[in-house]
Amino acid sequence: MLLLNRYHICNWIFYIGLLCFIVAGSCKSTEKVKDNQNETAYDFHCADSDYLQNADYFRIHKIGESVDQPTSMKKAIQLAQLELAESILSKLDAAIEKYISGKGLRNDEIMKEQIFALTYPVSEESIKEVNIVCEETIKTLNGLYKTYVVLEISVKEVLNELQKKISQNRQFQVKINASEFKKIFELEMNKKLNEQIFQ
């Protein structure tokens, strides 16, 4: 009888120990989930207000992710360049269309095609001249690298490139007054003043 009781006691001790082990394991998993959540909300200093787009600079924020740091950096830069080109193109197109309508000129499909033919090369050339003004990399718990980059180019450089393309393009029929266009373009830039371009 005493031997049987000892047997039952040993079994209970074993099961209680096993239960504690399982509970401890689940607690550890919960801590890892919390760590992952904290990591997602990591406070990159590149996201500071110093690196937001303003009336003088196009700025794009992007994160690249990879198993190695150089690739994560490359991905972030490529994503940022793509969005920067789209942003420049959008602002130039909108500004030229407003300039044309302000002059009382007709803005038809042919004119829109001419505008795009003029502004697209400007956006493509501009992204070759960008500066990396901030870069930061972290290594995640699952071993991946996340690189946060901020690319910038000055509005002045973009407008200079536009002026060069206008002088080279003989098909564009509208004569653009540089100072008048600059004011319209600045208004377009100010629409999203201090708004961070990061998704």
More confident residue, 3 or 82: 82
Q: Name the residue type at position 132.
A: I
**Residue 122: is its pLDDT beyond 70?**
yes
Give the model's confidence band at 145: pLDDT under 50 very low, under 70 low, under 90 confident, else very high.
Answer: very high
Which residue do the tokens 């196009």 mark?
58
Residue 193: the pLDDT is 54
Which residue do the tokens 């407003």 mark?
98
Least reliable range by pLDDT among 5-14, 45-54, 82-91: 5-14
Pull the structure tokens for residue 80: 């940022």
Helices 178-190 and 69-102, packing angle to 10 deg = 120
What's the full length of the chain, in residues?
A: 199
34-79: pLDDT as tens digits: 334 444 556 788 888 888 888 899 999 999 999 999 999 999 999 9
Residue 191 DSSP symbol: T
Residue pair 52/59 in contact by the 8 Å Cβ criterion = yes
Whether this model's pTM surpasses 0.75: no
Q: State mean pLDDT over 169-187.
A: 87
Average pLDDT for the chain? 78
